[in-house]
Structure 1
């Protein structure tokens, strides 16, 4: 880990999350100001005044102070790892060395916009099913704890033997309306969630297994693969355009992947590259993570000397795939929701209507 990353960070900065939109605004406008011929320190001061987020404003002023003391912008950014990941530091440093800082900032802004659009598409598509399932859960809880207990108490007052489905349903309703059971269930569920989060953070094997399982889930797995491929491709393309050596670029691009299996695979690919293998050949060792279409396009790019542009085409392809899948997500999920609701309604109807026939026959 670089020394700059070991430095203590202001507690306010650590716990006040800086929105991605603010970071994009900063990089985009810094590029514009520098292209307009405004000195770097003056540009940073202007952006500090323009930024409405107080935590980010303080961070920009610290960047300005470091630059005033003679530090390159890349070193100043590296001292605040909570602001920008390592790949942006490397791209800025490459731009400073080659005298193309404006181009590096433009590439960073483009990369951030694409990453943000990708994340927004995924989050946006998840809102509808989350609301639907929350509503179903709320209605189900209300039925189990308020409505059905009063209705089913009527059946218990009759001496006639109730159908098995109704007896089971009454037992479930009693269990569900018991405060001790509900509190215990919430406590157990909370404990399992906390334990899972701790294991995800501290156990590499558990994290790897969960991430591998995510890649195999219907629909979700396909989206996860598309998101990681898109993120990897346009990150690596941007790094290579910034003249970052390919071995280092692959390692850095791997860090941006959300799935640990992709990070491990790209770390392994970087080691193979160091040993003399081509990137396409290295990635072919992981067919479940890198489909043939991706490795073949990379191979064509390597042969034609246009690896960066080919990677960007791959990124655009998978970004469009994610957008298309997310747009259709609701229509795919609707039949599943209807089936679940149908089964639930049929079960309740069966448990409530059957005893009515039994009671009528016993009269």
Structure 2
């Protein structure tokens, strides 16, 4: 998501500067105004600047992982609960962490000393602290309840990380097992089979079709192994490049939505991420427009992101959340119904969180069930391929023995 640098006047008429992450410059201005500022100048920061510049050190320094962010959030919440001031807490944590996160915390400490808010300092690092994180911290600071917000945020980050890892595992497991099967069969055909071929050639017997089939594949691999490797690596690099382009990314995301397993898990994760995050943002005091903008940009699928943003624009105009979520065809009817109930009862945030928790449990159960079913299936497929190759090699053995006896 683009990062914008702004100059604005606060409620006291003092000029302030900062950065904000938003989908468009207009949305960024709306967010600034909703926070009580009057924007006077705003420019999009280039990708290089948004990343904080480039240095040789960045090539060798590990990025900040999600576990470190979760640990930082938990520890800061504990320190604040114990009565430790925010500045001192950040200073203490800067000494505990290493590498990039330590440098960031030192810079955050300096920002706090200069009078900047915690959220304003964190939003300088969009690759480390997400927009959800920054806006929740800002809401916590505004309400004077930062400790509770950080505690809830740590729980939220843990659940989101668990969902991400489980969905990734469910979607990558079949691909991984197929890859292992291809490697095993390729090794057998490329290295084991050719050693037996010479015996078959010397016997001069007519080989059965399974043996001829395996030998044909073996000859192909042996003759073109170099080019197979070259084209495989080249194809992978081209695919990664194509997927990194806007058109390629959109086409690949569209393809994933047409594949049964990938489509279901992608949409199910959107339901969980959207409802849990939306509910938490509203409960923490973030306004509706800003919350919708944040959750729409959480989705890691350009097709679904576009669909949700269209719904967001209609919701902001008319305020009918359940109606337009249902029209996206992403959310099941029961979700729209429960959201509608939350709207009517005035407990929308609570209902969204409840829906997210229910779908999270269902998603985890489905993932476990899928992996339990795929395991024996993949073992059967790999075992069947190996058995076929071994059988193809042993079928001619009896005829070869007879042929050598006659020759003797």
Report the RMSD for the aligned CA atoms in angstroms. Answer: 2.6
Match of 2:342 in 1: 301
**Runs of 5+ in structure 1 lacking a partner?**
none
Aligned pair count? Answer: 358
Match of 2:129 in 1: 84
CA contact (8 A) 1:280 1:298 kept: yes
SS in 1 for 2:192: helix
SS in 2 for 1:67: helix
Is 1:163 equivalent to 2:204 in the alignment? no
Is 1:62 equivalent to 2:107 in the alignment? yes
**In 2 relative to 1, CA 249–128 (structure 1 residues): closer, same or farther, beyond 3 Å?**
closer
> What is the TM-score normalised by the length of structure 2?
0.79
In structure 1, how many angstroms separate the alpha carbons of the residues matched to 2:156 and 2:268?
A: 16
Match of 1:109 in 2: 154
CA contact (8 A) 2:308 2:328 kept: no
**Which of 316, 333, 340 is matched with 2:357 structurally?**
316
In structure 2, how many angstroms separate the alpha carbons of the residues matched to 1:273 and 1:309?
A: 19
Q: State the Cα deviation string for residues 198-248 of structure 1 (Å, max 9, x = none).
A: 2222124x3233223323434343222222211111111111112222122
Q: State the Cα deviation string for residues 102-126 of structure 1 (Å, max 9, x = none).
A: 2332332222111122223345667
Match of 2:76 in 1: 30
SS in 2 for 1:208: helix
**In 2 relative to 1, CA 310–82 (structure 1 residues): closer, same or farther, beyond 3 Å?**
same
Instruction: Answer 1 or 2: higher relative contact order, Cα 8 Å, separation at least 6.
Output: 1
Match of 2:242 in 1: 199
Q: State the Cα deviation string for residues 64-88 of structure 1 (Å, max 9, x = none).
A: 0011111111110111212201122
**Which of 325, 346, 349 is matched with 1:283 structurally?**
325
CA contact (8 A) 2:214 2:392 kept: yes
**Which of 87, 108, 116 is matched with 1:71 structurally?**
116
In structure 1, how many angstroms separate the alpha carbons of the residues matched to 2:146 and 2:379?
A: 54
CA apart distance, 1:254: 1.7
> What is the TM-score normalised by the length of structure 1?
0.88
**Which of 141, 166, 169 is matched with 1:96 structurally?**
141
CA apart distance, 1:31: 1.9
CA contact (8 A) 2:185 2:386 kept: no
Q: Larger % of strand: which?
A: 2
In structure 1, how many angstroms separate the alpha carbons of the residues matched to 2:358 and 2:335?
A: 10
In structure 2, how many angstroms separate the alpha carbons of the residues matched to 1:294 and 1:279?
A: 11
Alignment of 1:1-363 (within 5 A): 1-3=3-5, 4=19, 6=45, 7=49, 9=52, 11=55, 12=57, 16-51=62-97, 53-123=98-168, 133=178, 135-178=180-223, 181-204=224-247, 206-287=248-329, 289-349=330-390, 351-356=392-397
Q: Larger % of helix: which?
A: 1
CA contact (8 A) 1:78 1:89 kept: yes
In structure 2, how many angstroms separate the alpha carbons of the residues matched to 1:80 and 1:22?
A: 15
